[in-house]
Amino acid sequence: MLHLDDTPRYLCSELVSILYEDGDRRVHQTTANLEDISAGSAELLLFDDILQPGSAISFCSKDHDLYGVVQSCEQDPILGWFARIRLDKSSQWSCRKFIPEHFLPLRTGSEQETLEPVPVRTH
């Protein structure tokens, strides 16, 4: 899957509520799994719905809403639809906003920068 920015990405897994527009600009609500996130993009796994590139979308996690545009939507025959979202500049994610339930920094071999500190969650 194409990744839309060069900022550090984090693998995660958390159910989120999403709102999106279809081709006729009707608004739909469903649940998706947040698969990865970075400051400017996110990837959602939808179980039944395909999202059209260019469609407006928002999703909510831990009472924080993020807004963006669907960049791509690809089907995995077993899992469902993976939608890549470009987050709006006014809706950038950071770990100060929220940390998904299952959260893992993803580093590439060429990445030299230090990842943003992530608070440790205690239960």
pLDDT digits (tens, 9 = 90+) for 62-93: 888 999 999 999 999 999 999 999 999 999 98
Question: What number is the average pLDDT over the span 88-108?
Answer: 79
Alpha carbon of residue 46 to chain centroid: 11
Place of tokens 């899992």: 79
Model-level pTM? 0.76
